[in-house]
A and B are shown apart, each in its own frame.
Chain A
């Protein structure tokens, strides 16, 4: 795996044979299907934006073109911020995601270094176990975890989420970082060992600086995973003031039979924004994290 996001992209496609393609042919076989893909993949977001800035009256009227908005309004956003606990859910999500991400990252750095570089007895088996742990889905763990969380007295607290999110973050981060550490030459470490550096110094002063792209990839991906987590937050939390955004929107904003679509879409949009912004800054790291974990 490359130690930094693939900037050394292999020459795209069949560069050498571009003379074989005519313009109309490219239009039908490339641009048209691609345009359809992009429109379908982005339409729900467009629809979220449109719905969230329409007034209730406009939302429920059958006249006019639903694809456009005549009198844009921010009433749904105002409702969310001032009349619901949305800001608190946002705050909870931020705290839980940040703490869980950093905890997992720290534990994963140590574990990946131990497995990949210290090569202790049984490190190969531990590496395999980490990979298998990565494949255990939350949907088969949430029931026993609920029992454990309850027994530990963590039910309905942020700690329940901060302590359980690492179960899917650590295997992922460790697996990813193992790949990055593998790409750092052994010779660097050997030199440092000869010069009398301790293992800890080697990790902090040599390996980690070289693995920064890997740390960013793992961190970004872990943050998005925790931000998007749903089933644990739904099961372990019951009071509104401790809920995360995805769970809060689903359980608190849906009241009875009347769906407040404007507010729901505004909530969905605001809740997606932080990860989308973060993603837009670190696309390359995100992609290399995602494909790196699969490619290994």
Chain B
């Protein structure tokens, strides 16, 4: 008996048991079940029958679903690009000699740690058509004459939700990139400066190549979170106006839970998987490159 408990293969399996069971029952199985549901006409309270590709055919012909796909891609691309640019800038600022550095770092991460659903309400309130503080300030500064209809106009609403998403995501990108920047040895910059490299050249040829692996990973996470975002949209616009801000996740929720068509919602969620897979492959190659840069260390 004692021997068995010191056998690493047996003990390994035993130790994996709690995590394994929980993940198999509540992650792997639902992942499969979700894909299967996508091929059925399941409704809430009624088991579905296999209907093949009907759901997907219907979704391809559905203008709202096509709009949601467009919105999701637009939202992901614009928000991720902004998060990357602003996050990298903020990380570079924080990496310089600075008094109260750890205080700044702590404060900057606040938007990322508070519940998104709750900070989203603050944005909803700031975007209010009649009482928006942003409109008030802009009007006082003489930049606008009528209050901006942040959430009533399709494009305004798209950019407003993107702004809220960027607000929440920049701290994450910045702090992770800062951690990467801190691993770059200052002697490299000194050597480059002695060789006459300008600040831009030092950034382009020292910082950027050494930071690429971590950028790849951070941005993969960022893209994943943005692509599957739900809370911000659900709280701020619920997909409106005229479905202009519906993302695939919010549309899938709306069709499946209030709408009751589990099958259709699951099909929409399944359609997100190819995009997620390509993001993961991207991350995989980002990691590969890192090993190569460190001289093939495991």
- Shortest CB–CB separation between residue A260 and chain B, in angstroms? 11
> Does B59 reach chain A (CB closer than 8 Å)?
no
The 7 A-B residue pairs with the shortest CB-CB distance in the complex, in nearest-first order: A120-B12, A114-B15, A246-B117, A137-B228, A291-B179, A139-B249, A144-B30
Tally A residues with Cβ within 8 Å of B: 100
> Does B56 reach chain A (CB closer than 8 Å)?
no
- Main DSSP-derived SS at the B contact region: helix
Docked Cα-Cα span, A35 to B138, in Å, equals 19
Q: Which residue of chain B lies nearest to A146 when distances are taken between CB atoms in the complex?
A: B257
Residue of A59, A118, A171 near B15 (CB, 8 A) is A118
Given A38-B107, A41-B111, A44-B126: A126 touches B31 (CB 8 Å cut-off): no
Docked Cα-Cα span, A239 to B133, in Å, equals 34
Binding site for A on B (CB under 8 A): 2, 5-6, 8-9, 11-13, 15-20, 22-23, 25-31, 33-34, 37, 42, 86, 89-90, 93-98, 101-102, 104-111, 113-119, 121-123, 125-126, 128, 131, 133, 136, 167, 170-172, 175-176, 179-180, 182-186, 189-190, 193, 214, 217-218, 221, 224-225, 228-231, 234-235, 249, 252-253, 256-257, 262, 265-266, 269-270, 272-273, 276, 280, 283
Cβ contacts A to B, 29 pairs, < 8 Å: A6-B179, A15-B186, A16-B186, A18-B97, A33-B89, A41-B171, A42-B107, A45-B114, A107-B19, A118-B9, A119-B8, A120-B11, A120-B16, A140-B276, A141-B27, A144-B33, A146-B257, A164-B26, A171-B23, A199-B6, A227-B115, A234-B234, A265-B122, A267-B118, A272-B118, A272-B119, A279-B110, A283-B102, A291-B179
Q: Which residue of chain B lies nearest to A142 when distances are taken between CB atoms in the complex?
A: B253
Residues of B close to A295: CB separation below 8 A: 176, 179-180, 214, 217
Whether A235 lies near B190 (C-beta < 8 A) is: no
Residue of A14, A140, A234 near B34 (CB, 8 A) is A140
Binding site for B on A (CB under 8 A): 6, 9-18, 20, 30, 33-34, 37-38, 40-42, 44-45, 47-48, 51, 59-60, 66-67, 106-108, 110-111, 113-115, 118-121, 123, 126, 132-133, 135-148, 163-164, 166-167, 170-171, 174, 198-200, 224, 227-228, 230-231, 234-235, 245-247, 249-250, 259, 261, 264-265, 267-268, 271-272, 275-276, 279-280, 283, 286-287, 290-291, 294-295
